Amino acid sequence: MTPRKNIRPLPVLLAAGLISIAAYFPVTAEITPDPVKAELIADAAGVRPGEPFMIGVFFKIQPKWHMYWKYSGDAGLPPEIQWQLPDGWTAKEIEWPLPQRFVENGPLTTFGYKDSVLLMAQITPPANITSSTPVTINARVNWMVCRDECIPGKATLSLNLPISAAASRPPAKSAADARFAFWRRRLPDAGEPAGIVVDVKSRLLDDSGKTAQVTYRFATPTGAAHKTIDWFPAPTQDYAVKKASCNSSGDNTIISFVLHSFAGPIPAGQELESLLVYQDQSGRRRGVHLLTPLKRS
């Protein structure tokens, strides 16, 4: 990958790869057509006062290119979406589908998506809408897409929706409805599946209390295809994770990493957020959000 200039530095984030400090991602000098097309879609044909619905930015990614998860890993930048809503409308946080792992530019490990991805959020209109004029929702979107080169992209997207007391969902076979259904199945599960057990141990590696060796031992769900288990740290400004490994044997998976704190000594009971991804008996990838307190061994 031949650098031309540096994109803005990444914030210090929790990383499962080899670097734990702010990184820069190179952009090549060649002019390349944008390999990403972005579209704003909704799962409702119209808006009813006070009734939540889903809206999302659908990214179509050309073959051999990829975009990034909410934590991009050792390099790259996650997409950013700024909703522009009418007064009184609210949006929840973006829901991120399960990522996959990429190896870039030598030993760098990144997390993201190829082919396509839908980043969706729940929108709630106010209950006291009186106008019947169609509403316009805008989204300002920025992203980075990479192959052998990396290209930043941006778009301002708009969607008009009618307001009706009897608005209906789109037909089951409509393009938007099918895409939402497809990507909902690729979101992390709302809760831990039955049978999963997490045991955590940590030990300090220096007198400062800022560095610890952490081990997660998972008793994984019955029927999981253990060879496909993967683990993704969640983004944070306070910690870095280095030397991460994930190994499975029988019903147990061991994840080990070195945790370094930038803010001060690591307190006992400090909670770490991460994502455990595995494959069930049907071959479907499943994900579990974990918020795990550290225990001193």
Mean pLDDT, range 96-102, rounded to an integer: 95
> How many angstroms separate the CA atoms of 148 and 28, rounded?
9
How far apart CA 159 and CA 172 sit, in angstroms, is 20
pLDDT at 91: 97
Q: For the residues 213-236, what does the mean pLDDT come to?
A: 75
Span 197-293 CATH architecture: Sandwich (2.60)
Length of the chain: 297
Ramachandran area for residue 169 (φ above 0: left; ψ -120 to 50: alpha; else beta): beta
Q: Is the pLDDT of residue 61 over 90?
A: yes
pLDDT at 62 exceeding the cut of 50: yes
| 124-167 residue pLDDT tens | 999 988 778 899 999 999 999 999 889 999 999 999 998 876 54
Q: CA-CA distance, 144 to 174, in Å (whole number)? A: 29
Report the distance separating Cα 256 and Cα 4, nearest Å. Answer: 36
Q: Which of 4-8, 28-32, 92-96, 246-250 has the lowest mean pLDDT?
A: 4-8
Least confident of 13-27, 167-181, 185-199: 13-27
Contact between 221 and 194 under an 8 Å Cβ cutoff? The reply is yes
Please state the pTM of the whole predicted model: 0.81
């992390």: which residue's tokens? 188
pLDDT of 195 strictly over 90: no
Provide the token pair at 111: 């997390």
> In the predicted model, is pLDDT for residue 194 greater than 60?
no
SS3 call for 66: strand
Least confident of 49-58, 176-185, 257-266: 257-266
Q: For the chain, what percent of residues have pLDDT higher than 90?
A: 36
268: helix, coil or strand? coil
- Domain residue extents for the chain: 5-184, 197-293
CATH code, residues 5-184: 2.60.40.1250
Q: Kindly state the average pLDDT of the residues 247-262.
A: 83
Give the pLDDT of residue 98: 97
pLDDT band at 227 (very low <50, low <70, confident <90, very high): low
